Structure 1
């Protein structure tokens, strides 16, 4: 079904219902719902879900991320537009043939976005079974391998010391700030994907502690953080033996901490920056 196949009065009614429920971008959301639904009955059901507070991406079953439609199942973290900056930063150092790992992958959006623009060997892992199932579907076009488990413990040992680009969009919201998140995130996304511990850096510290042994020489680690968390996060990487950099995008409100393992990049891998 496309927007043009639905009478304008029906589309208008969807817009008005969404607007009445508080949707700021009611016109855009209505168009996406009508475009995605297979028939009028499904339009009505999807509007009911959205009005009840379900995130739009879960209503649609997909999220837009760097021009890709990424399948997003209920209970799976929704990729944010600001995280496109992390992908853009990683693409700067990702060369053909690189081994890329999307750690804590959720839907697999980061790995998919990299693989859509570079020919790479793609791996992903997440502790949540729902995320693993979702990521496996999303990474089929790029023959990505997806594993279930807690961070690096999920990975086959043959990847140790071979990862050229490590993307780790791990939770970084301090525990006592989760209550301040919008209801769509707080109520519908698993807390394990949000809760970064007392200072938001608990999971990141675990990633940093393992990164040196899993990265290839000259390999890169990219992690999203809030602006105020970036300096202590960079210090953690330095303490673990990585060279640390911080980059930001004011338009997206995004901050990325970038760690580089010492050594020359392996053949077919990445430049060291």
Structure 2
């Protein structure tokens, strides 16, 4: 190889290496949400306030405000490097004094993104989240709320906390094979769900929030769920164990 060919080869390798390095990023181009369903409550309404999806319910009390859920998306973000956790949107529970609350609500979230610098190739995915809602009595006869706190500490009416529990909070991963610095790796766009935990309690006349989070990472960095053993497998194990027991009894005899 002459020196000119060597120079061209070196430049080509540098360009390909740079392009491969740029590939290992993820850019979010759009996130949107809508409250598609709910049960229970009175005077419910689902509207959009700009990009924010709002769900309201109940006849307002002295605060003259309905209780409700909001989902505020983060429409664009990135580019995100691997192993970086980022937020796709924020869920908020607004708790006010009302007469009757919902029992559940469903949120549909759609997100679009591209990899590296190729903004012409847009991927679009969606997830559905279901929240169980417990609108607790604000003035229980015992004076003690369902969470064990007083509804009138020091004689001041503060009401009782309401509980929000994620019934469906799916983890959704999408895999992509990318060549980076000459090495082919599988990456995941891993939507980890709302960081609400098992549930949260929202104080009366207050609000509580949780973030819908995701990350761009290597496939091996995401633990796989345990694979259940089929019924036939359990029967096989039981049979093997039984044969072992018979063999031990024979040896003892």
* Fold shared, TM-score > 0.5 on shorter chain: no
Which of the pair has more CA radius of gyration?
2
Which structure carries more relative contact order (alpha carbon 8 Å, separation 6+)? 2
User: Which structure shows the bigger proportion of residues in helix conformation?
Assistant: 1
| TM-score normalized with structure 1 length | 0.21
